[in-house]
């Protein structure tokens, strides 16, 4: 099958700088960017992205690359039932909109897919694969395992705000991914539980702890927490480090420009130890799904997690559970960085594998699939089946969003600084089970400990890694 795409280019002329509405953040565009700058833009820029996403439906038409027949393939980590169904709906829609182009979907268990990504991308990967933005995307782009897709991006970029544009650029300034969804991390709770006990939303650290104490008295687990999977604890580390030490320190720490032995890291652990007494018992043996069940079944009062916690509320089968789910932003900790309102809002993306054996034959179809993924209508199809994340496209029909999704878009847009998540902002060889995850678990085994030797180990491990 030859290349049967028929690209219609849409270009939008942009000035050199864009002022993010409602903020005083200026986005430098078209300049020489260092990697730091790109990271920063990913952060700043997201603000713009989400502000625009909140601005009501737009009429922007995205490009219209279509395929007519032929084949392509997709390596997908969307292995849980709910997102997998969403992906299948999208693929079916793609096939019927592209003259019967067949997509062979290879779904691999989410964790396995991530563990094997290196050998997968070097072996015989599918044409298109699901991945994450941030440092984690740039890492594989730098290694030459992802194919640049600047041409597709030029067709569709008018459908994305500049924040997303920054998040999909590699260190070489080429575009490597199509952003398809994002979600914030925040503190989730049940409205009915808060109403029954007349709890108020805490906005500062003291109120937060007072509320937790009160919940304890009322027989609730104040803060659901689960870290058998290893990564959830990173979410708490991120938010505490962001709020106590600021966005700049956090992002620099993630890429090794700051030391783990810094007293500011010790402060994070110290602050964290004020929360651990409120955590679910036996949290190190629980999965995030089990902790979400505690929140769902009104056994726990609050849960700091990503919006995907709603998947468990969808799966409960009772629509009222989802209607009761709400969240509030992490309370102010009393530092000068509270004003940044920084939070983790990871962006999920679709990329093209450079070493796919079928890519040369299928590149037109693969690009058509990527372009299809960038459409608001596609993303809404996926979102309807799996509402744990928010579509990224400007032309996604937001009128259908329930209050929770609208609020999720809102909290991200009101944040002045956005990070992706520790394992997306830092190097993959530092974020694994026998590194960062293990370090945090050994901290959590005894939160009152003097963390200086642990921090020394963390820095040692970082130093042992070969330079990127």
Partner 1 sequence: MTSSTPGREDSPRAGDLVGSRQGRYHVLTRYDRRILILMVGVPLLLDVALIWWPTLSSVVLSFTNWDGVGPVTAQNFVGFKNYQFMFTGYTLFWPAFLHNVIWLAWLAFIATPLGMFFAVLLDRDLRGSRLYQSVFFLPVVLSLVIVGFIWELQFSPTEGFINNALGLVKSGNIIDWLGNPRINLFAILVAASWRHVGYIMVIYLAGLKSVDPTLREAAKVDGANEIQTFFRVIFPVMAPINVVIAVITAIEALRAFDIAFIINQGKNGLELLSILITNNSISEASLVGFGSAIAVVLLLISLGPIIVFLSRVMRTQS
Question: Chain centroid to CA 210: how far?
Answer: 30
Q: Residue 92 or residue 463: which is nearer to partner 1 going by CB? A: 463
Closest approach of Cβ 290 to partner 1, in Å? 6
Exposed / middle / buried, residue 142 (Cβ in 10 Å: 0-12, 13-18, 19+): middle
Closest approach of Cβ 379 to partner 1, in Å? 26
Draw the binding track, 294-333, toward partner 1 (x: CB under 8 A; -: no contact): x---------------------------------------
Residue 217 makes contact with partner 1 by CB under 8 A? no
And the tokens for 110?
A: 């989410």
Residue 180 makes contact with partner 1 by CB under 8 A? no
Coil, helix or strand for 454? Answer: helix
Q: Residue 397 or residue 429: which is nearer to partner 1 going by CB? A: 429
Closest approach of Cβ 106 to partner 1, in Å? 18
Residue 461 makes contact with partner 1 by CB under 8 A? yes
Draw the binding track, 122-161, toward partner 1 (x: CB under 8 A; -: no contact): x--------------------xxx----------------
Residue 290 makes contact with partner 1 by CB under 8 A? yes
Site size with partner 1, rule: CB under 8 A: 43
Q: Residue 201 or residue 284: which is nearer to partner 1 going by CB? A: 284
Closest approach of Cβ 176 to partner 1, in Å? 16
Residues between 419 and 458 that touch partner 1 (CB under 8 A)? 428-435, 437-438, 441-442, 445, 457
Contacts of 181 (CB under 8 A, 6+ apart): 347, 348, 379, 382, 383, 389, 390, 391, 392
Closest approach of Cβ 464 to partner 1, in Å? 5
CA distance 413 to 425: 20
Q: Check: CB of residue 157 under 8 Å from CB of residue 364.
A: no
Q: Check: CB of residue 173 under 8 Å from CB of residue 401.
A: no
Q: Check: CB of residue 70 under 8 Å from CB of residue 369.
A: no
Q: Using CB under 8 A, which of the segments 286-294, 319-327, 341-349, 377-385 binds partner 1?
A: 286-294
- Give the alpha-carbon dihedral of 67, 69, 74, 79, to 10 degrees: 110
Out of 102, 104, 110, 228, the residue judged to bind partner 1 by CB under 8 A: 228
Closest approach of Cβ 364 to partner 1, in Å? 28
CA distance 300 to 188: 10
And the tokens for 349?
A: 């993306």
Residue 284 makes contact with partner 1 by CB under 8 A? yes
Question: Chain centroid to CA 56: how far?
Answer: 22
Tell me the C-alpha to C-alpha distance, in Å, between residue 306 and each of 9, 34, 62, 190, 239: 36, 30, 29, 15, 12
Report the interface residues with partner 1, using CB under 8 A.
111, 114-119, 122, 143-145, 227-230, 281-286, 290, 293-294, 428-435, 437-438, 441-442, 445, 457, 460-461, 464-466
């Amino acid at each position: 099958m030859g290349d049967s795409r028929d690209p219609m280019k849409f270009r939008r002329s942009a000035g050199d700088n864009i002022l993010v509405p409602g903020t005083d953040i200026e986005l430098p565009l078209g300049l020489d960017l260092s990697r730091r700058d790109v990271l920063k833009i990913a952060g700043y820029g997201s603000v713009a992205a989400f502000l625009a996403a909140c601005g009501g439906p737009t009429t922007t038409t995205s490009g219209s690359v279509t395929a007519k027949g032929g084949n392509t393939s997709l390596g997908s980590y969307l292995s849980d039932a709910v997102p997998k169904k969403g992906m299948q709906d999208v693929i079916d829609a793609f096939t019927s909109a592209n003259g019967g182009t067949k997509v062979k979907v290879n779904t691999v268990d989410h964790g396995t897919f991530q563990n094997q990504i290196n050998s997968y991308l070097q072996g015989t990967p599918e044409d298109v694969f699901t991945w994450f933005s941030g440092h984690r995307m740039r890492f594989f782009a730098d290694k030459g395992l992802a194919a640049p897709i600047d041409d597709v991006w030029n067709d569709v970029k008018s459908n994305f705000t500049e924040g997303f544009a920054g998040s999909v650029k590699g260190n070489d300034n080429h575009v490597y991914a199509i952003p398809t969804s994002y979600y914030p991390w925040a503190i989730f709770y049940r409205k009915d539980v808060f109403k029954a006990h007349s709890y108020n939303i805490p906005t500062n650290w003291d109120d937060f702890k007072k509320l937790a104490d009160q919940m304890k008295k009322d027989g609730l687990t104040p803060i659901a927490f689960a870290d058998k999977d290893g990564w959830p604890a990173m979410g708490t580390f991120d938010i505490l480090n962001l709020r106590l030490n600021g966005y700049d320190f956090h992002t620099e720490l993630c890429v090794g420009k700051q030391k783990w032995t810094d007293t500011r890291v010790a402060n994070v652990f110290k602050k964290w130890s004020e929360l651990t007494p409120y955590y679910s018992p036996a949290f190190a043996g629980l999965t995030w799904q089990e902790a979400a069940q505690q929140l769902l079944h009104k056994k726990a009062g609050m849960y700091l997690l990503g919006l995907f916690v709603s998947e468990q509320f969808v799966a409960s089968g009772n629509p009222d559970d989802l209607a009761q789910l709400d969240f509030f932003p992490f309370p102010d900790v009393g530092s000068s960085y509270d004003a940044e309102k920084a939070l983790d809002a990871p962006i999920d993306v679709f990329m093209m594998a450079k070493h796919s054996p079928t890519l040369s034959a299928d590149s037109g179809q693969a690009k058509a699939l990527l372009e299809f993924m960038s459409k608001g209508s596609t993303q809404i199809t996926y979102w309807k089946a799996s509402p744990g994340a928010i579509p990224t496209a400007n032309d996604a029909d937001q009128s259908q969003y329930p209050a929770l999704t609208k609020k999720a878009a809102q909290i991200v847009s009101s944040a002045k600084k956005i990070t992706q998540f520790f394992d997306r902002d830092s190097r993959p060889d530092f974020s694994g089970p026998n590194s960062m995850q293990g370090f945090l678990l050994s901290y959590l085994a005894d939160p009152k400990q003097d963390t200086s030797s642990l921090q020394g180990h963390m820095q040692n491990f970082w130093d042992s890694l070969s330079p990127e």
